[in-house]
Chain A
Amino acid sequence: GEDVEQSLFLSVREGDSSVINCTYTDSSSTYLYWYKQEPGAGLQLLTYIFSNMDMKQDQRLTVLLNKKDKHLSLRIADTQTGDSAIYFCAESGKDGGSQGNLIFGKGTKLSVKP
Chain B
Amino acid sequence: GAVVSQHPSWVICKSGTSVKIECRSLDFQATTMFWYRQFPKQSLMLMATSNEGSKATYEQGVEKDKFLINHASLTLSTLTVTSAHPEDSSFYICSARAGQLTGELFFGEGSRLTVL
Give residues in A with beta carbon < 8 Å to B.
4, 8, 30-31, 33, 35, 40-45, 48, 88, 92, 96-102, 104-107
Contacts and interface: CB of A to CB of B under 8 A. Distances in A.
Contacts of B34: 100
A35 B43 CA distance: 12
Contacts of B49: 99-100
Determine chain A's interface SS by DSSP, over half rule.
Answer: loop
A97 B107 contact: no
Nearest to B5: A42
B61 interface: no
Interface in B79-116: 93, 95, 97, 101-110, 112
A43 B44 CA distance: 10
A42 B105 contact: no
A30 B72 CA distance: 31
Given A42-B93, A100-B49, A106 B107 contact: no
Interface of B: 1, 4, 6, 9, 32, 34, 41-44, 46, 49, 59, 93, 95, 97, 101-110, 112
Contacts of B109: 41-42
Nearest to B6: A42
Nearest to A88: B43
Contacts of B110: 40-42
A107 B32 CA distance: 25
Given A43-B44, A88-B43, A107-B43, A102 B107 contact: no
A48 B46 CA distance: 19
A15 B34 CA distance: 37
